[in-house]
Structure 1
Amino acid sequence: MCGYVGYVNFGNEELLNRATQVIAHRGPDNQSVFWDTNQRIGLGHRRLSIIDLSNQSNQPFWNEDKSLVIAYNGEIFNYLEIRKELQNKGFGFRTNSDTEVLLKGYEYFGESILNRLNGMFSFVIYNAKTKSFFAARDHLGIKPLYFYHNNQSLIVASEIKSIIASIDYVEPDYKALSTPIHFQTAPETGFKNIKKLEPGCSMLFKNGELKIKRFWQIEVNESDKKTFNEKVEELDGLLQDSVKKQMLSDVPIGVLLSGGLDSSLIAALMQKGTSKNVNSFTIKMGANDLKKQGIVDDSFYAKQVAEDFGFIHKEIHITPNIIELLPKMVYHLEEILVDPAAINTYLISDLAKQAGIPVLLSGIGADEIFGGYRIHRAMSAFNQWGPLINNKLVKRTSAIAKNTPESLFMIPKKYTRWFKKICFLLSIDQDRRHIFAKDAAFVPSEWKKAFTSDFNFYDLNYPSREVEIFRQQDAEYLNKLCLSDALLYLPNHNLNYLDKSMMAASIEGRPPLIDYRIVEFAFRCTSSDKINNGQQKYILKEVSKRYLKANIINRPKAPFAAPLRSWLKTDLKEMVFDLVTEKNIKKRGVYNYDYIEKILKQHYSDSADHSQFLFRLLMTELWFNTFFDNKI
């Protein structure tokens, strides 16, 4: 795991060195820079040594005749097979790194090397003969790739802050900031003219022209004739092989263990595949925080799994100095990504760093592709039963729900929120329902009140992409839901914070459940393979029965949450009122202060719970302060 910066017809060696130093957290083991003064082309690289720890594998890395040079972030998990194939074709190797295999694979196969790679990667290769830059991002978007293209110049980087450190002026992208969802959707980042390459895509920059094309995409094919038992066998084999491949390392490896199905299954397969001690890490919240957040205690189950497999287990109690930590997380996340799970991930990663474990496997991604979110089950039910409900009844109930306050008699707020959300979802067509299904999403009427934007709601990136997916795909409704999450939510939200939060602590995160072969398998499954008689991730649970105890497989699903509601009423309350002010809101020009004032009063009088939106307001103000009020 590393970080890089690349310049084409831009800057100088001193600036490149500074832009590379900005991402030192991504690679604390080495910094090296290549610079061609005549061509004004250069690559800077920060290295976190994972495979082949020798200095010979430092980057930027050249081939023998100095015609190609690479800067690369990630891991190629099948590099040994590709290395052997290249050796059979006459190539020699001077290191044991996957970097050299990737570069020489490109030298021989050209762009088609991408079709041979199994891994998580983001890289750029400069071809000195053709004076061209070639870059690519892995299938699912596990590793980030940002770029800034201005006429004849190009900057590519692992993180936005390297681009900001390079250019004279940066400004907010107000259309992107007006998104109804709580994260940015590629290619948008929230910064004007700074884009992120979409997953499964490559880009070629030559003679000032930038061309982007897709080398891989998810295909939904529900016509697989295999029996369910045959599919279970196939999935078991894929999972075992993926975990085995992702345990390849020259440094110690551990696991992010929540005690849920996904991380526990990974833990079981890790234990099966090694005779070495496995380190596991989990997070624990206080009883009062668990109650306020409405979630179960993961740490109990994580401890059980660790004891079952004889792991070296460590817990961190989530009592951070959130006032100091939050600005740091905004700096590392770069995009406005409103999810306190990023804080949890950083804290666990920092604990692993202190324990000397620089690589952690994560169970992230299975919910998206196998139908594991509660909303998948709920939305599937809406789709099945919604047409049977009388339209007049839906309209009347929706009107009642719209005017129903969250604080209603003795009814817990979460139930009134669910009632209001269900009524709204039933009132709109199924192609648009998923846009509003997530807790933090704005419906059009509230969005119009909250934002100063005069854009059309359905012209915004996230809503338009959602509608496009649901209207173009010929698939069962559940697979459309999963596809949307795999294309939009997974790379732009979950994988984004996984990479940024872990790299902030100089830790490499690996998600074996979204090996691209497993993703392709998941979208050959039918809806009944994923949700069967109300049981979610059905096929994954069938595989898990071979490795895990029943109480782990069947335990209630719990989000990877932090005590956000508690923080906003205690530690963060003063920060909210210091930063979310009329002066700041009007200065930034994103939100309508009259609406914000109402939200603040409702939340702090306990008449409604606006935790998610208040956290978004706080993160937005900290984002402006970090990247616009203070130059990196």
Structure 2
Amino acid sequence: MCGVAATLGFAPDAAHRAAVLSSLAHRGPDGHGCYVREDVFIGHTRLAIIDLSEAASQPMVSDDGRYVLAYNGEIYNHVELRGPLESRGWRFRGTGDTEVLLAALAMEGEACLPRLRGMFAFALWDGQRRRLLAARDALGIKPLYYAHGDRTILASELRTMALLGAGARVDPVAVETFLLTGSVIGPRTILEGVRSLPPGHLVSFEDGIAREKVYWRVPDEAAELRPRDELVSELDGLLRDGIRQQLRSDVPVGTFLSGGIDSSLITSYAAEEIGEGLHTFSVGFGDASARWDETNAAKLVSDRYRTQHHRVVVSRSDFRAQMQTLPAVIDQPSADGVNSYFVSGAAAAHVKVALSGQGGDELFAGYNIFQFASRLSRLIERLPTPPPAAAHVGRLALRLPARLQHNWYVRGAAGVLTRGDPALIAQMTNPLFSPLEVNVAVEPRIESVGNLDLVNVISRQVLTGYLPHTLLRDMDAMSMAHSLEVRVPLVDPVLAEFALSIPGTQKVSWGNSKSLLRDIAATRLPPALRARSKQGFNFPLAEWLRARDCDDLLIEALAPDRVREAALVPEKTVAHELARLRRPLPGDLLWLRAQRVWALYVLHEWHDHWRSLQRGAPVSMVASATV
């Protein structure tokens, strides 16, 4: 993993270049470099993973001097791509994937992008055409931001964009979406005028014009039913081959092992490939209720595959010690990502690469909302079609307080009245605030979904929404704070095409989520794990925030004068949420109250950090010691 920055139309001076590279140093502590020509700047910081020699240093320049590449990520099938490029005359100097990407882009242009199996965000300068090309991987694992006007700015992080002169103001609409969902929904970012390049897109800058283009889309056509054993066999082969490719590395590799189906299956395949001694990592909470702790389940998998297991216990005092660090390293406000920060810190002490189970719930229907969608679909089929006015009544559910939208009966009634409106269901899936609670007018929107059934429509929604905008973005920020590369074998376009070609009825039923992965687990995991219901990678946020030592930091960050000065959220909203967390009323969802207060805390602490960047304060984001 690395850090990328680029400008077109101006080149920052030496002092600014140094500041830019410093802002990305945590993403690439193993080396850095710059390419500067008149009004062009390409900067890079390197986390050396494949080909540790100087032959893989960046920015990488082609032999003829025409192309300059700065790249963040990994191309897992670089070995398979190298041979055809060599046979066509490309002379390789090293063994890394960066040079394979440079060769493919130089010889084939953007046509090579759909064949890349990996995670990436890059900037390629074509000196002959004076054209800057940038692209992001198919499912949005790696971030890339840009601003375009009379000059162009690109970077891996928003703090770097701010240093280069983009994003002088906070975007008020982005703040609204953050309050509704707990994250900023791309392509908008928290900084006005800065755009997140969408997953599966490229953008070119030439002759003063920016042109975005889609090179890969999440599928939207479902296939017919297929024999169960055929599906399980094909999925097993895809997982085995994909994980084998993602274990390619010249530095130590481990896995996050939560004890859930996804991370446990990944660990099982990785352990078979590597052998005994694979490093695995799980996080437990020593001073909280046992319901938050999955480390005993993780140990069952570790024992079976004889991994070198590291159980990290995070206490409230550990969390409190990092409360002011977390909003700074997240780069853009998010109510999520805390667990990822702690497990990444633990892993970084032993390995430079870790495999994560993210993506399994989205692709193979692991969330409760998928079981709900499956049952709702069957119910709708049996009921008479409601009158057109019923849909309007159903959509009124969006005006209810968020705590009521989390009620399955309310969701069910709204779903029946709207005949399974996927936009409505997606918006009610996990609201932080409702639009009326924060005085925001938001209408549900959904792209064309082709012939997908409701389960696959919801899957497509979370694959293009929650996964890239929250889970993947947060994991990137939190792992990079520790200079750790996290790979996500289940977030793969090949797997996405497979999963979305399967009717929802073959992936989920009431009481049986992720049934295909469970079928594979039947032969690979201990029986106790196969029967476990989904728990989620959660932690005791409400218990901790209500404790006096954490509450003191909340009081300081959300003091009325600071909230008033920031002008992001009305004072009365902040005061109300703090009061209800401390003294909840009957019917309150305490975990939701805690999430709201945490989101407000992160937003205001992030804002203070951003203003310090505006004033020219130091920007190095190396994580502080964790546990």
Decide whether the 8 Å contact of 1:13 with 1:42 is kept in 2: no
The amino acid that maps onto 1:582 is: P
Q: How far does residue 322 in structure 1 lie from its aligned partner after superposition?
A: 2.9
Decide whether the 8 Å contact of 2:339 with 2:539 is kept in 1: yes
Distance change (3 Å), C-alpha of 1:142 and 1:557 = same
Normalised TM-score (structure 1): 0.89
2:523 to 530, 533, 546: 546
Q: How far does residue 422 in structure 1 lie from its aligned partner after superposition?
A: 5.4
- Please name the residue that 1:561 is paired with: 538
Helix, strand or coil at the partner of 1:72: strand
2:327 paired with 1:333: no
Helix, strand or coil at the partner of 1:187: coil
Structure 1: which 5+ residue stretches go unaligned?
Answer: 407-413
2:564 to 562, 586, 589: 586
Distance change (3 Å), C-alpha of 1:323 and 1:92 = same
- Please name the residue that 2:90 is paired with: 91
- Please name the residue that 1:234 is paired with: 234
CA distance in 2, matches of 1:184, 1:395: 27
- Please name the residue that 2:266 is paired with: 266
2:19 paired with 1:18: yes
- Cα deviation 1:449-484 (Å, max 9, x = unaligned): 324x5xx311xxxx43xxx23x54331001000000
1:430 to 420, 437, 454: 420
Distance change (3 Å), C-alpha of 1:398 and 1:162 = closer
Distance change (3 Å), C-alpha of 1:565 and 1:195 = same
- Please name the residue that 2:340 is paired with: 345
Q: How far does residue 30 in structure 1 lie from its aligned partner after superposition?
A: 0.4
- Cα deviation 1:350-379 (Å, max 9, x = unaligned): 122222x10000010010111100122123
Shifted more, 177-186 versus 359-368: the winner is 177-186
Helix, strand or coil at the partner of 2:324: helix
CA distance in 2, matches of 1:427, 1:619: 37
- Please name the residue that 2:625 is paired with: none
Distance change (3 Å), C-alpha of 1:612 and 1:388 = farther
1:378 to 369, 372, 379: 372
Distance change (3 Å), C-alpha of 1:143 and 1:223 = same
The amino acid that maps onto 2:346 is: L
Q: How far does residue 629 in structure 1 lie from its aligned partner after superposition?
A: 4.7
- Please name the residue that 1:164 is paired with: 162
Helix, strand or coil at the partner of 2:147: strand
- Please name the residue that 1:363 is paired with: 357
- Cα deviation 1:533-564 (Å, max 9, x = unaligned): 53111112112223112221221211111211
Decide whether the 8 Å contact of 1:69 with 1:127 is kept in 2: yes
Decide whether the 8 Å contact of 1:401 with 1:419 is kept in 2: no
Number of aligned residue pairs? 601
Decide whether the 8 Å contact of 1:71 with 1:125 is kept in 2: yes
The amino acid that maps onto 1:158 is: S
- Cα deviation 1:319-363 (Å, max 9, x = unaligned): 253344133222221111111xx22212222122222x1000001
CA distance in 1, matches of 2:319, 2:5: 31
Q: How far does residue 424 in structure 1 lie from its aligned partner after superposition?
A: 6.0
Distance change (3 Å), C-alpha of 1:438 and 1:403 = closer
The amino acid that maps onto 2:58 is: Q
Distance change (3 Å), C-alpha of 1:598 and 1:427 = farther
- Please name the residue that 1:498 is paired with: 475
CA distance in 2, matches of 1:257, 1:167: 41
* Identity in percent: 28
The amino acid that maps onto 1:352 is: A
CA distance in 2, matches of 1:208, 1:300: 57
Decide whether the 8 Å contact of 2:354 with 2:484 is kept in 1: yes
Q: How far does residue 421 in structure 1 lie from its aligned partner after superposition?
A: 5.7
Decide whether the 8 Å contact of 2:29 with 2:47 is kept in 1: yes
Helix, strand or coil at the partner of 1:147: strand
- Please name the residue that 2:30 is paired with: 29
Question: Where do residues 304-319 of structure 1 align in structure 2 (5 Å cutoff)?
Answer: 304-319=300-315
CA distance in 2, matches of 1:380, 1:181: 24
Decide whether the 8 Å contact of 1:29 with 1:47 is kept in 2: yes
CA distance in 2, matches of 1:130, 1:160: 28
Question: Where do residues 129-168 of structure 1 align in structure 2 (5 Å cutoff)?
Answer: 129-151=128-150, 153-167=151-165
- Please name the residue that 1:184 is paired with: 184
CA distance in 2, matches of 1:560, 1:396: 35
- Please name the residue that 2:459 is paired with: 482
Distance change (3 Å), C-alpha of 1:595 and 1:426 = farther
RMSD of aligned Cα (Å): 2.8
CA distance in 2, matches of 1:425, 1:255: 39
CA distance in 2, matches of 1:300, 1:439: 28
2:583 to 605, 614, 625: 605
The amino acid that maps onto 1:332 is: V
CA distance in 2, matches of 1:29, 1:233: 41
2:436 paired with 1:442: no
Shifted more, 431-440 versus 170-179: the winner is 431-440
Q: How far does residue 586 in structure 1 lie from its aligned partner after superposition?
A: 3.2
CA distance in 2, matches of 1:47, 1:370: 34
1:457 to 442, 449, 464: 442
Helix, strand or coil at the partner of 2:254: strand
CA distance in 2, matches of 1:225, 1:481: 19
- Please name the residue that 1:411 is paired with: none
Distance change (3 Å), C-alpha of 1:623 and 1:245 = same
Shifted more, 550-559 versus 23-32: the winner is 550-559
- Cα deviation 1:166-215 (Å, max 9, x = unaligned): 11761100011111211111111111011110000011111111000000
Decide whether the 8 Å contact of 2:73 with 2:121 is kept in 1: yes
CA distance in 2, matches of 1:175, 1:555: 40
2:594 paired with 1:616: no
2:289 paired with 1:298: no
Helix, strand or coil at the partner of 2:181: coil
The amino acid that maps onto 1:354 is: A
- Cα deviation 1:255-310 (Å, max 9, x = unaligned): 000011000000110112123520000001136344xxxx4531000011101100
CA distance in 1, matches of 2:480, 2:559: 32
Q: How far does residue 102 in structure 1 lie from its aligned partner after superposition?
A: 0.6
Helix, strand or coil at the partner of 1:308: helix
Decide whether the 8 Å contact of 1:586 with 1:593 is kept in 2: yes
